[in-house]
Structure 1
Amino acid sequence: MAARLPGEVTAVAPHPSDGAPAASVRRLTRRFGDRTVLDQLDLEIGRGEFVALLGRSGSGKSTLLRALAGLDDDVEGGLTVDGSVAVAFQEPRLVPWKRVRANLTLGLAVPDADKKADAALAEVGLAERAGAWPLTLSGGEAQRASLARALVREPGLLLLDEPFSALDALTRITIHRLVLDLWAAHRPAVLLVTHDVDEALLLADRVLVLDGGRIAHEAAITTPRPRHRDHPGLVSLRSALLAALGVSPEGTP
């Protein structure tokens, strides 16, 4: 069973879903040769829940995300997702020979795809860049386009694979706020894979630590948004999460 961490934490409440969760994983196992990366992992993500997944490099975070996205069939165990899935990766992965709007509609088999794409671009502040080539976008604009491409598919589960790590500090703050606004408006379940403890605390409802192929620690965050790093509960929880990740608090050996 995953350990509960101290801080601004309560016992993890029932997930905010009516009926089936957005995603359910039971005894999920993934091996690469003799190495077991995911080891009979159990996880549920409720509808509309924002979950952050932390772990050391090589702990299997992206492997779990790929399995949930349907990009890895070589897994054992049970995995179900209620509704569609969309992914925003660390790199925006926009097709360079298609304009921004065409990137959003690529593979989108719905009526009025262009109108839906334009509405999504307007939500992320890129309405005037619909006809631009991807290579003319700034890093922040490209990541906004990537989020719009994911949201235009109206996913029940949105997977974010370290989508902010390549952004400068100021742009990252802006995109954090945008993601929260989009999540509040559309209410998909979100699984954010990140190495950044502060990012997890600022954005998520629940933070998980992956270790040894399983969820080793979990904490529900009750501090209302917007959150500040110096909130006493978050300070305590941050230290506990860093310890769970094997990182000594600042000022200690």
Structure 2
Amino acid sequence: MGVQVRGLRRQFGDRLVLDDLDLDIQPGKFVALLGHSGCGKSTLLRILAGLDPDIDGEVWVPKERAVAFQAPRLMPWKRVWRNVVLGLPGRPDRARAEKYLEEVGLTKHAGVWPKTLSGGEAQRVSLARALVREPDLLLLDEPFGALDALTRAKAQRLVAELWQRHGCAVLLVTHDVEESLLLADRVLVMDGGRIAHEIHVDLPRPRDVGDPAFVSARARLLSWLGVRDASAASA
């Protein structure tokens, strides 16, 4: 099963954040979610993750879910491999942790303390901790937002590779229009507490930001977000 949301409402006091929202994500698909700050993107993600049950409406999600947030949220008093398997049932399994650390290129860091990691390395540990749960739905809440441009580009490529390898559905919350088009099959734009716009991204991978179809899609998304695409205007 993928994701099905029908008539979802979430209110904080007098503020209605999600208003009769509908959403479908097919199994194995990569979906990106854009929108202005405060539009409800992260609220929706938290609901899908099961972290916010105080809702109206109907939500169906796979039982096996995992989340990676912008802040890696590693426990500083636990070595890296123990952070990866944190919360799993049974005894901590270092071999299992190292299997997923290998996938993100951090096998040699299994025994170190989190404080010795760079920002990009810590985020990769967060991804390994999500993947070790073998999720059918991977939820990513701006996981690259705090990274520098080069590290961010490497992390984006890694996520694309991991998604293709594992075949789980992915919902990526991001503010980065170009990032959404580089990674996703569908890009959704939230406005007024609902999914207001949608683009299907039918471009070969890896994607070329100079491809006319990519440029056109970027311009449409920016216009929906109320931003003028200067690069398209000067082309």
- Structure 2 contact 82–92 (Cα < 8 Å) conserved: no
Is residue 2:226 matched to residue 1:246?
yes
Superposed CA RMSD in Å reads: 1.2
Question: Which residue, out of 191, 195, 198, partners 1:211?
Answer: 191
Corresponding position of 1:7: none
Corresponding position of 2:46: 66
Superposed, 1:32-47 pairs within 5 Å as 32-47=12-27
Corresponding position of 1:229: 209
Corresponding position of 2:165: 185
Letter in 1 for 2:124: R
Question: Which residue, out of 80, 95, 120, partners 2:60?
Answer: 80
Gaps of 5+ in 1: 1-19
Change (3 A) 1:240 1:190: same
Q: CA deviation at 1:142?
A: 0.2
Tell me the secondary structure at the aligned position of residue 96 of structure 1.
coil
1:6-26 alpha-carbon deviations (Å, 9 max, x no partner):
xxxxxxxxxxxxxx3x21111
Question: Which residue, out of 93, 98, 101, partners 2:73?
Answer: 93
C-alpha separation in 2, matches of 1:178 and 1:78 = 33
Letter in 2 for 1:232: P
Count how many residue pairs are aligned between Structure 1 and Structure 2.
Answer: 232
C-alpha separation in 2, matches of 1:106 and 1:197 = 33
Question: Which residue, out of 144, 147, 151, partners 1:171?
Answer: 151
Tell me the secondary structure at the aligned position of residue 78 of structure 2.
coil
Corresponding position of 1:201: 181
Q: CA deviation at 1:250?
A: 1.4
C-alpha separation in 1, matches of 2:90 and 2:35 = 37
Corresponding position of 1:127: 107
Alignment TM-score, normalising by the size of structure 1? 0.89
Q: CA deviation at 1:83?
A: 2.8
Q: CA deviation at 1:114?
A: 2.1
Change (3 A) 1:127 1:174: same
Q: CA deviation at 1:82?
A: 1.9
1:28-55 alpha-carbon deviations (Å, 9 max, x no partner):
0000111110001000111100000000
Percent of counterpart pairs with the same letter?
A: 63
C-alpha separation in 1, matches of 2:192 and 2:150 = 34
Tell me the secondary structure at the aligned position of residue 230 of structure 2.
coil
Superposed, 1:43-58 pairs within 5 Å as 43-58=23-38
- Structure 2 contact 86–92 (Cα < 8 Å) conserved: no
Change (3 A) 1:43 1:102: same
Q: CA deviation at 1:111?
A: 7.4
Corresponding position of 1:155: 135
Higher relative contact order, structure no. (Cα contacts within 8 Å, ≥ 6 residues apart)? 1
C-alpha separation in 1, matches of 2:118 and 2:150 = 13
- The runs of 4+ residues in structure 1 deviating greater than 6 Å are none
1:158-198 alpha-carbon deviations (Å, 9 max, x no partner):
00000001101111111111101111110110000000000
Gaps of 5+ in 2: none
Is residue 2:121 matched to residue 1:141?
yes
Q: CA deviation at 1:208?
A: 0.1
Q: CA deviation at 1:246?
A: 1.0
- Structure 2 contact 85–92 (Cα < 8 Å) conserved: no
